[in-house]
Amino acid sequence: MLWLALYFPQLPLESFTASSYIEHSRTAQVVLEQNRVHLANTVALSAGIVPGCSLATAYSIEPSLQHFRRDSNREAAELQKLAESLYGFSSLVSLAAPDSIVLEIQGSLRLFAQADLLIGARELCEKLGFTCLTGMAATATAAITLARSQSQSINDALLSQCGLEHQHVKHHVVEQLANMGLTTLGALLLLPRNEVAQRFGKALVLYLDKLEGQRHEPRKTIQPAETFERKIHLLQPITNKQQLLKGPMSKLSLELQQWLIGNQRGCEKLTWRFVEHSNNASTLHVRFTQGKQRQLELLSVSQLQLEQATLPADVLSIELKLISSTPWSTQPNDLFPTTQGTDNNGQSIGELVDALSARLGTQACQQIHGSDRHTPEYAWQFKKALQSASQTVLNEHSQASRPLWLLSKPHPVKATDLQLLQGPERIQSEWWLHSDARDYYIAQHRNGALCWVYRTAAILREQQRHEFYLHGYFA
Amino acid sequence: MCALKKSFNPVHPQDLLKHPLLWRGQQLTQPGSQPTVRTGFECLDEHLPGHGWPVGGLVEMLLAHAGIGELRLLLPALITLQGHAHGTWSIWINPPFIPYAPALEAAGVNGQRLLLVYPKTTEDFLWTLEAACKSVSCGAVLAWPVADKLKPHDTRRIQIAAKQGHTLACLFRPLAKRYNSSMAELRLALHPAKTSHHLLLDIVKRRGGWPIEQLQLALTDATPSVHTNAKHVQELFREWQIIQRHQVTTHPRIKGTDDLALTATLEANLHQAPRPITRHSLH
């Protein structure tokens, strides 16, 4: 087994900044625990705020400081979300509380190259707003140890060279060991285990055994959620659609993408909800004709609809909910792209229909298909684009020519404007609907158009009987 | 001091034309000079640049009213484009009437590959047209502007989109727009001919050639005939008429008036001389 550990050193701070979408690179920010600075970002550190100082001291150093109180529930929730997002890389994802995640990647290496997997996982975390450090080893504990040791800026260190400070070794034990001249794991591992157990307790031996893989280490794996529904609550309202799209919506759709990949689903319909202070909300329903997984596709169609929509002035929270999805089927790319139109910015028909219906409304895209009824009004049907309809076999008996254009409502024409060319063809409508028989003629209108006209054979309508009705054009 | 010796051999103008940097409009009319699709009508092909409809360009059809054969003119090309490996879809934007599915199937158009889009505003119309042209899966776009307010720069926008997407874009506009300027690659004015099997066609604008007027096209060359020979039907009518009259005189009370009215109409139709068809005068 090969394990990949992701360690999030800034998790206490980033659980606030990532989920509330706060710009975190410019201003000094600290996280407090028991009124002392627990963690400071780089801006704060460079200003001279050190972990452990009081809030008052920190403010006196940097008046524009932002501070948050540490919230371990929030951290755990964010870690859970991250783990679910990483489920796309491995089926065995396990939380290592409080701030790490381990993935079993031996099986995943058949699908991903090792480097791709590492970079992919790291990029994903960064896009979601978390800095992470990675480590890879044969046991989960060793992987975590390697990831954590990198916070001392030693990259690719061997396990034996790792220091003891940032590991899950109790503080006084580290101090004791340091007094004995033992500062690296390598030195500690050389000592006989029995002696170590006697002096430093069983916990340390357990840790060392797990590190070397001498003791089994069952891990509880996460189960991804059945449904996808995420919210982002902002600390400062967003008033600009572009900002909304680049910030929270992009993050939420990335999370959705990962959920879809993890569950092997394609998104068919999703709902955005934008809420204001006073619970004034507006909702966007986005539909996809074919299941979609990629963030960019999800976002580009949402964007078209967002441009049309009116949102509350100040958006404070954004929700994304997946309404329906289909089992994912990959569309194979062409092995040999043909020369025509492969600039790769062209869309397939499904994407085009999605884009059109997002902008023009769901009813704007239609298809027609024939049905097996013989009356002209019912011999065709509109259907929504790209919805597979039952294939109707057109009856073969219709050898008589039919017009390409059909008028939705027959239009009376003067008989004197017409020159009859062919007919009559009697078409009897279904008697259970409305009984009338029509004699259809092909005629040329005075203006040159080739028309399909009819005359009702019904005797009932006395006053209309001489009139011809235009029902189609042989365009 | 020593001037270059002048050669007195005059350069022949024909040789000048062979300069590799020189580009001549005539080249456009050669087949294969640009991607085209055959129209299916021989006599039209030879007048079009590249001998066919441009795949990757805007074609404008100017016609006074629907129903004179404008779709039959395009059907062969539509069917060919649907058979291509890429761009099998035809997208019809704002068709003025309902495309009648049985007739399309009978003509050979695959209705499963036909998408109808109904945008509401002109801005949406243009956006749809552009999006459709740029899509890889779309081979032909047929568009009917609702209230034709297209400006020259709008047609330019469509022309560029069609070029990018390698799509045959076809815009149906009223004949009155003939003298408005347009950036379309090819503009045709369509007029009804004397018989319904024919179409009169003016090439208003084309690349690499002068406009042509009064090109007569037999639509039956490439599309199935809509109706049989009218003479045969009219003969039948005459016979039927005589029988009717006979019956009416013998049984004057048989739901008579109805049929009489019809025969009167038919008679009027049959004895009319073929009407001169009103045409817009050409300048």
Residues A133-189 have pLDDT tens digits of: 888 888 888 888 888 877 554 555 677 777 777 777 788 888 888 888 888 888 888
What average pLDDT does this structure show over B232-257? 59
Pairwise CB contact (< 8 Å): B118 & A366: yes
Using CB atoms, which residue from A343, A368, A449 is nearest to B192?
Answer: A449
Contacts of B64 in chain A (CB under 8 A): 447
B185-205 per-residue burial string, b: 16 or more CB within 10 A, e: under 16: bbbbbbbbbeebbebbbbbbb
- Residue A378 in this model has a pLDDT that exceeds 60: yes
Q: In the beta sheet, which residues pair with residue A171?
A: none
Instruction: Inform me whether the C-beta atom of residue B112 falls under 8 Å from chain A C-beta atoms.
Output: yes
Residue B170 has pLDDT above 90, yes or no: yes
Scanning B48-77 for CB atoms below 8 A from A yields 64-72
Q: What does the pLDDT read at residue A395?
A: 52
Q: Are A101 and A236 in contact (CB under 8 A)?
A: no
* pLDDT digits 0-9 by tens, B82-118: 887 667 889 999 998 988 888 888 888 888 888 899 9
The pLDDT-based confidence of B61 (bands split at 50, 70, 90) is very high
CB B161 within 8 A of CB B186: no
Convert the pLDDT of each residue in A88-97 to its tens digit.
888 889 988 7
Under 8 Å between Cβ of B80 and B35: no
Q: In this complex, do B192 and A359 lie within 8 Å of one another by their Cβ atoms?
A: no
Q: How many alpha carbons fall within 13 Å on the CB side of residue B128?
A: 30
Minimum mean pLDDT range among A12-21, A100-109, A271-280, B257-266:
B257-266
**Residue A339 reports pLDDT greater than 50:** no
Question: Angle, to 10 degrees, between the axis of helix A295-308 and the axis of helix A349-360?
Answer: 20
Given a cut of 80, whether residue B280 has pLDDT beyond it is no
CB pairs under 8 A between A and B: 211
Please say if the pLDDT value at position A338 is more than 60: no
Cβ of B79 under 8 Å from any chain A Cβ?
Answer: no
Q: Single out the residue of A80, A85, A37 nearest to residue A58, CA to CA.
A: A37
- Whole-Å CA distances, A262 to A60, A236, A388, B230: 47, 32, 27, 68
Q: With a cut of 80, say whether residue A209 has pLDDT above it.
A: yes
Highest CATH level, class, for A3-27+65-212: alpha beta
Is residue A391 scored above 90 in pLDDT? no
Nearest residue of chain B to residue A452 (CA atoms)? B67
The radius of gyration computed from the CA coordinates of chain A, to the nearest angstrom, equals 34
pLDDT in tens, A234-273: 877 888 888 888 888 888 899 899 898 888 888 888 899 8
CA distance A249 to chain B (A): 24
Give the C-alpha distances (Å, rounded to integers) separating B78 from A348, A375, A419, B11, B55: 19, 27, 30, 49, 11
Q: How far is CA A95 from CA A11, A221, A348, A439, in A?
A: 14, 7, 40, 77
The domain segmentation of chain A, as residue ranges, is 3-27+65-212, 229-327, 365-395, 405-473
The chain A residue lying nearest B278, using CA atoms, is A447
For residue B143, pLDDT over 90 is answered with yes
Q: Which chain B residues are closer than 8 Å to A415 by Cβ?
A: 265, 268-269
Residue in the block written with tokens 């087949």: B31
Task: Compute CA A14 distance to the chain's CA centroid, rounded to the nearest angstrom.
Answer: 21
Pairing of strands A281-292, A36-40: unpaired
Q: How confident is the model at residue B273 (pLDDT cuts 50, 70, 90)?
A: very low
* Cβ–Cβ gap B124/A359 under 8 Å: yes
What CATH code is assigned to A229-327?
Answer: 3.30.1490.100
- B145 and chain A in contact, CB less than 8 A: no
Q: Which residue of B has its CA nearest to A339?
A: B86
Cβ–Cβ gap A346/B275 under 8 Å: no
| Nearest beta carbon to residue B65 from set A359, A379, A447 | A447
pLDDT for A96-112, tens place per residue?
878 889 998 888 888 88
Judge: B111–A367 Cβ closer than 8 Å, yes or no: yes
Residue range B28-221 forms a domain whose CATH class is alpha beta
CA B18/CA A363 separation, integer angstroms = 57
Task: Give all strands (DSSP E) within A120-227, no chain letters.
Answer: 133-137
Q: Which of residues 189-248 of B touch A (CB under 8 A)?
A: 191-193, 196, 224-228, 230, 233, 237
Shortest distance between the Cα of A429 and any Cα of chain B, in A, equals 17
Average pLDDT, chain A: 80
Query: Does A379 contact B101 at a Cβ distance shorter than 8 Å?
Result: yes
Secondary structure element (H or E) that encloses residue B198, with its range: strand B198-205
Contact A364 B118 (CB under 8 A): yes
| Span of A29-33, A50-54, B228-232, B253-257 with lowest mean pLDDT | B253-257
- More confident site: A333 or B161: B161
The DSSP call for residue A108 is G
The pLDDT value given to residue B187: 92
Cα distance from A46 to chain B (closest Cα, Å)? 51
Q: Please check whether residue A468 is in contact with residue A418, taking contact to mean a CB–CB distance below 8 angstroms.
A: yes
Query: Where is A234: in which H helix or E strand?
Result: strand A229-238
Q: Do A405 and B116 touch (CB under 8 A)?
A: no
Which one of A353, A360, A380 has the shortest CB-CB distance to B124? A360
Report pLDDT digits (tens) over B20-32.
Answer: 777 777 776 676 6
By residue count, chain A amounts to 475
Q: Do A347 and B134 touch (CB under 8 A)?
A: yes
The neighbour count for residue A399, using CB atoms within 10 Å, is: 7
DSSP state, A151?
G
The verdict on pTM exceeding 0.80 is no
